């Protein structure tokens, strides 16, 4: 497989891709604008941030804080409420580690069967550590959150509810408005995993806290965001420690600088912050590109539904954010993915880091195709032709 044979050039900022890349929900291709923003700094014009001392450092500080401002504007919050993390997983661990510190027996943490492991295991472990109960909100047989259980799941004992805005398996959007209303009524906090939402221009307005990753939102790897609304960051405590976040260090104890910097110990991913800000700027400007994604997703869904033996996970009549997962009767998802790979169609197969959901739906694995603004009708056609040819593997 030579890159030459697979590469093709696309117009616009998304640059060069090769093959039919349908795995953007795992990691999306990066915008040239994001790369340019990082390169601008990394080519001999960078210094560490918040260390002071010289003009290059001050300039890097300025650019880093500008990037924080851009992220804040995109999310509709203030810059003081934006923390740069290593990714969605790091943000969720920080939230679970910090928010649950004072929980104990009688308190309840609510997650759902839809969650990616990154929004399940940190809360599970916090519950085990603190003695709080972990309540897992079931999905319906179709694979969407069972909203009839809203009041049963979120009760006056609930301290925090952590839910995905967009499922990484079905692409369906959670009803955050109803969940947030109930969360407010019982005086709990709402954490939203927006990892699959931000790339589609959704940003969990209802959340007290949200997280996402740069590499799924057309930005660089190694960076993510934890953001709060309504001053929520003030309720967090640092759970990781090191340089950059301390005000004074004595042998007997230390004090911290103010929010959000006290939640960014060590050297933060400052070049990546510039890249991420550039990607979010692009997403903000290019809303029309997202309409193309939903058209392609619908076409893929309809095409798959028309094939005998293909089962699409989740209800078929609802809008999906760029994700279609499916199985083919009698063919293992890995074999379907291999047939597709041989045709240059790159999808994900397996449990999608969502074992609780797989178990709830009685599945061992699925194939997932996911779409982004650089995909075209040719990618959908290649997917459908590949799945069609995988039907021949049925025993």
User: Residue numbers of the site for ligand PLP (CB under 6 A)?
Assistant: 26, 87-89, 116, 118-119, 164, 168, 193, 195-196, 213
How far apart, in whole angstroms, are the C-alpha atoms of residue 250 and residue 257? 14
Which one, of 271, 242, 241, 246, lies nearest residue 258 by Cα? Answer: 246
Question: Nearest 5°: phi and psi at 256?
Answer: -110, 155
| Beta carbon nearer to ligand PLP, 303 or 322 | 322
Question: Locate tokens 């995988």: which residue?
Answer: 390
The owner of tokens 């050297």 is 267
Least distance to ligand PLP from the beta carbon of 93, Å? 9
Q: Using alpha carbons, select from 377, 210, 203, 163 the residue that is nearest to residue 287.
A: 203
Q: Which C-beta is closer to ligand PLP: that of 50 or that of 216?
A: 216
> CB–CB of 38/274 below 8 Å?
yes
Closest approach, Cβ 82 to ligand PLP, in A, equals: 17
Q: Does residue 325 contact residue 169 with C-beta atoms inside 8 Å?
A: yes
Residues listed for the chain: 395
* Tokens describing residue 55: 């003009």
5 upstream amide cis, omega within 30 of 0: no
Name the residue with tokens 């056609």: 381
Torsion sign over Cα 210, 240, 232, 82: negative
Tell me the angle at which helices 121-130 and 88-99 cross, rounded to the nearest 10 degrees.
20
Q: Cβ closer to ligand PLP: 63 or 110? A: 110
Nearest approach, Cβ of 119 to ligand PLP (angstroms)? 6
For the bound state, the minimum distance from the C-beta of residue 50 to ligand PLP, rounded and expressed in Å, comes to 24
Rounded to an integer, what distance in angstroms lies between the CA atom of residue 32 and that of residue 18? 15
Annotated catalytic residue 100: no
* Least distance (Å) between residue 266 CB and ligand PLP: 18
CB of 272 to ligand PLP, least distance (A): 12
d(CA 151, CA 204): 21
Residue 361 tokens read as 């739906």
Q: What H or E segment, with its residue span, contains residue 83?
A: strand 82-85
Catalytic residues: 353
């Amino acid at each position: 497989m030579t890159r030459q044979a697979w590469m093709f050039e696309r117009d616009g900022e998304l640059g060069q891709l090769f093959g039919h890349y349908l795995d953007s929900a795992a990691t999306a291709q990066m915008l040239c604008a994001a790369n340019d923003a990082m390169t601008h700094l990394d080519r001999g014009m960078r210094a560490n941030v918040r260390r002071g001392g010289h003009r290059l450092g001050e300039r890097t500080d300025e650019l880093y804080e500008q990037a924080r401002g851009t992220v804040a504007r995109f999310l509709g919050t203030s810059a003081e409420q934006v923390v740069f993390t290593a990714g969605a997983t790091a943000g969720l661990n920080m939230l679970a580690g910090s928010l649950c510190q004072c929980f104990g027996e009688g308190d309840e943490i609510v997650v759902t069967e839809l969650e990616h492991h990154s929004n399940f295991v940190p809360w599970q472990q916090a519950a085990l550590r603190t003695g709080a109960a972990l309540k897992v909100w079931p999905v319906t047989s179709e694979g969407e959150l069972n909203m009839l259980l809203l009041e049963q799941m979120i009760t006056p004992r609930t301290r925090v509810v952590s839910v995905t805005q967009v499922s990484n398996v079905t692409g369906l959007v959670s009803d955050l408005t109803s969940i947030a209303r109930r969360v407010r009524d019982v005086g709990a906090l709402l954490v939203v995993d927006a990892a699959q939402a931000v790339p589609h221009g959704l940003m969990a307005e209802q959340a007290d806290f949200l997280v996402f990753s740069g590499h799924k939102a057309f930005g660089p790897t190694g960076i993510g965001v934890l953001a709060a609304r309504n001053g929520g960051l003030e309720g967090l405590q640092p759970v990781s420690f090191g340089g950059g976040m301390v005000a004074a260090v004595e042998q007997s104890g230390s004090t911290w600088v103010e929010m959000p910097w006290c939640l960014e110990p060590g050297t933060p991913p400052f070049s990546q912050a510039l890249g991420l800000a550039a990607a979010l700027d692009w997403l903000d400007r290019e809303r029309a590109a997202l309409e193309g994604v939903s058209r392609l997703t619908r076409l893929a869904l309809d095409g798959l539904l028309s094939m005998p033996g293909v089962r699409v996970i989740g209800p078929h009549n609802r809008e999906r954010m760029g994700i279609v997962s499916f199985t083919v009767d009698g063919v293992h998802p890995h074999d379907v993915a291999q047939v597709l790979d041989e045709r240059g169609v790159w999808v994900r197969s397996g449990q999608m880091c969502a074992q609780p959901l797989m178990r709830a739906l009685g599945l061992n694995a699925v194939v997932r195709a996911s779409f982004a603004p650089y995909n075209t009708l040719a990618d959908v056609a290649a997917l459908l032709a590949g799945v069609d040819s995988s039907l021949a593997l049925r025993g």
